[in-house]
Amino acid sequence: MKISDLLSPADVMIDVRAANKRLLLQELAAKAAAGLGLPVEAIASCLLKREELGSTGIGRGVAIPHARLPDLQRPFGLLAKLKQPVEFDAIDGQPVDIVFALLLPAAVENEALAALALVARSLRSPENLARLRAAKTTSELLAAVAGR
């Protein structure tokens, strides 16, 4: 599995503005719903319920909000670079400015874990994070997360 299996160029956003975590997740849900043809509220609800279990802010300004959706056939990702960081209750207490939302089929366990691990690995290296933050276009952002 590669990042390109999860993320298309149309699903990369730059300079996203959100006042807080809830509004950010709702905006990501709306973008995902448009791309997947699923109800916005179903996606937003699943993402928000997952956050209630514990923040998906993994530290260093990065969050990987994720949810399982029964109507989804394959993993689907959205990458957003925020204009201004938002408080995300991250593990290190730092606000978040890089968000990779991952929507996963409810039925397929191994593929879901592999997708999460892949995204986490691609957002772990300080060099890669610097490239993501320096990206000025969606294509630069996509290349940075894909390790190109």
Tokens 């089929």, located at residue:
105
First vs last Cα of the chain: how many Å apart? 15
**75 flagged as catalytic:** no
Cα angle 10, 13, 16 (rounded to 5 degrees) comes to 150
Tokens 């923040």, located at residue:
55
For the question of whether the overall pTM of this predicted structure is more than 0.75, the answer is: yes
pLDDT of residue 74: 87
Looking at residue 93, what DSSP letter applies? S
Spot the catalytic one: 7, 66, 119, 145. Answer: 66
Which residues have C-beta within 8 Å of that of residue 133, sequence separation ≥ 6? 61, 81, 97, 98
pLDDT of residue 110: 74
Tens of pLDDT along the chain (148 residues)? 888 889 999 999 999 999 999 999 999 999 999 999 999 999 999 999 999 999 999 999 999 999 999 888 889 999 999 999 999 999 999 999 999 999 999 876 777 788 889 999 999 889 999 999 999 999 999 999 987 7
Domains annotated on the chain, with CATH: 3-145 (3.40.930.10)
